[in-house]
Chain A
Amino acid sequence: MQLIWEGLKQALALIFSGDPQIMGITLLSLQISLSGTLISLFLGVPVGVWLALYSFPGRRALVSLVNAGMGLPPVVVGLIVSIFLWRSGPFGLLHIIYTPTAMIIAQAVIASPVVAGLTIAAIQQIDPKFRLQVLGLGASSVQSMLQLLREARLPLLAAVMAGFGAVISEVGAATMVGGNILGQTRVLTTAMVLETSKGDFAAAMALGVILLILVYAVNVALTLIQQRRKPQ
């Protein structure tokens, strides 16, 4: 209990002191995770809509793959992305291993199946005739998709929250592809692991509190958008 209490006190002190190192780590965490989530939306939403609406051979296998991907272990993603980005790997020439870009790629890979899986569920809960109705009112294919996404906006925002939650809290891939380099790729989770391994539990606890506040703040913002309308 003493450690938790010390951690809380230290966290508050760190937050209010405006420690540039902590601020840098926090901002980098936010920047990497929001970028990864954003990319996962661009990848996961269209794939989810496509799998939800169109029938083709192998569709079920693909949906199962997406659903399995929702539980993709970050450390496995980290390993695969590392192999691809490693100096001798297929994308080694890009020299992005141990950079925030590599971490964003890994986080996008982790979040995309989450977003795609929840998009499939969100679109499939809409009456299948709704799309026909929208087309029957003269919508183009793109307009009909956008109308469906608008209808599914509440569960889709839940997908965004789940995707963001999955990446802001992961540590395996961030360590493997980022390398936890101070001032370059150190984020809240990797810093916590480092402080814990050094035995500085209070510092780790302080970083944990900041991480929780960050997660809460982002989710409050998304929830406010999601729950704009009062229940009738």
Chain B
Amino acid sequence: MNGAMITLENVVVVRGKKAVLTVDRLDLRKSETLAVIGPNGSGKSTLLLAMALLLHPARGTITFDGQTVPDSGAPLDLRRRVAVVFQTPLLADTTVQKNVAMGLKFRRMSRDEAVARANKWMERLGVHLLRDRQARTLSGGEAQRVSLARALAIEPDVLLLDEPLASLDAPTRAELLEDLERILRESSITAVFVTHDRNEALALGERIAVLIGGNICQIGTPDEVFNTPANEEVASFVGVETMVPGVVESQFEGLSVVRTSGVDVQVVGDYRPGDQVMVLLRPEDVVLSLREGPPPSSSMRNNLPGVITKLSTAGSQYKVVVDCGFPLVSLITKQSRLDMELAPGTPVRASFKASAAHVIRRTERPQGSGCAPPPEEQQSAAKLH
């Protein structure tokens, strides 16, 4: 494992009298791309500003490349090792080239060197032909490319991206995401990419942190976060559509049986009989077949009879809700729907592997409370430098 570029320890950011961000510990490893995902208002941008050393926490310690950031505020030389890109491009009212060279001018780089550096990054982001254009005349996609070139031209140790693609249309977003992925892969830059879009996080993040209610609920590889979510809130955010409460009935040789709404579900794992659990299933792991025929010959240990209650489009696929004693969500292709003539009321069989079901112990928490709701803080508001 690489050393940490930025570490947040026991950090609490307070706004008004309310703690809006509570981080027990977060290590941003050198040269990694960390994607931070979470719903709107979960504290993602606040976390980013704290990492950018632009926001002083009410409590806790921020360490940047081994150097503790003093309470009096981050020294300029530390701040200058970071570059931030926001959701809106926030370009200055001047030419594209002068915008890209802005951070270099702040660092008093010689004019010739700054122009050469700006040209290099304008070319890499594909905006070199716009160098003499006034920034305010650019389209949204062009402006965001210029904003990225401006941050990258600094060649910072840490690049912090706050939903840089959120305000772009889908084709522009896809194009820029691809370029961003290439640039981050080719450079050894440490990056944090904040987004509420799961697909963007999957495309860029080597690790993913899930932030809900101002708390980091889970941090791990994309596979860990998406397939073994730490709790119901995370599961819900990463796209787990079926969450069924149940009680462990029995367990034998790594296989447990969970009774859910009168239906037994087999799951992988040694759980104690009597444990209150929640069975989580991703829709793409559930296979549907018509109930008339014999069960498909496969290694799937769960084959639950049910009736389709709802069918709706989900992009290029169909989302099907099957009542198996509990509502179970599956994703199928348009062709499968046509072949099986599926419609609400059709009796079907929903099958999934015991290993596809992820089980978490049930917690008694109000919905939407985050992972560990911070108490109301009686401290001064977070200060912006």
Contacts and interface: CB of A to CB of B under 8 A. Distances in A.
B84 A133 contact: yes
Given A132-B54, A135-B54, A140 B88 contact: no
B384 A151 contact: no
Given A150-B92, A232-B137, A136 B106 contact: no
Contacts of A140: 76, 106
Give the size category of A's interface with B: 10 to 19
B92 A132 contact: no
User: Secondary structure at chain B's binding surface: helix, strand, loop or mixed?
Assistant: mixed
Interface of A is mostly: helix
A5 interface: no
Contact of A138 (B83, B92, B137): B83
A137 B152 CA distance: 10
Interface in B36-50: 49
Contacts of A147: 92, 102
A127 interface: yes
A39 interface: no
B86 interface: yes
A147 B52 CA distance: 19
A136 B93 contact: no
B134 interface: yes
Contact of B52 (A136, A151, A232): A136
Contacts of B52: 136
Contacts of A136: 52, 54, 82-84, 86, 160
Interface string A126-146: 010110111111111001000
Nearest to B134: A232
A143 B107 CA distance: 10
B313 to A, nearest CB: 37
B361 interface: no
A158 to B, nearest CB: 15
Contacts of B160: 136
A130 B147 CA distance: 12
B79 interface: yes
Of the candidates A135, A143, A147, A232, the one having the most CB atoms from chain B within 10 angstroms of its own CB is: A135
Interface string A212-232: 000000000000000001001
Interface residues of B, number: 27
A8 to B, nearest CB: 42
Nearest to B153: A137
B103 interface: yes
Contact of A129 (B79, B90, B136, B154): B90
A143 B104 CA distance: 12
A137 B92 contact: no
A140 B385 CA distance: 10
A137 B91 CA distance: 12
B79 A138 contact: yes
Contacts of B54: 132, 135-136
B103 A132 contact: no
A103 B93 CA distance: 38
B151 interface: yes
A133 B76 CA distance: 15
A75 B49 CA distance: 50
5 contacts: A135-B385, A137-B154, A138-B103, A143-B106, A147-B102
Interface of A: 127, 129-130, 132-140, 143, 147, 150-151, 229, 232
Given A137-B102, A138-B79, 11 more contacts: A132-B49, A132-B84, A132-B86, A132-B384, A135-B54, A135-B385, A137-B106, A137-B154, A147-B92, A147-B102, A232-B134
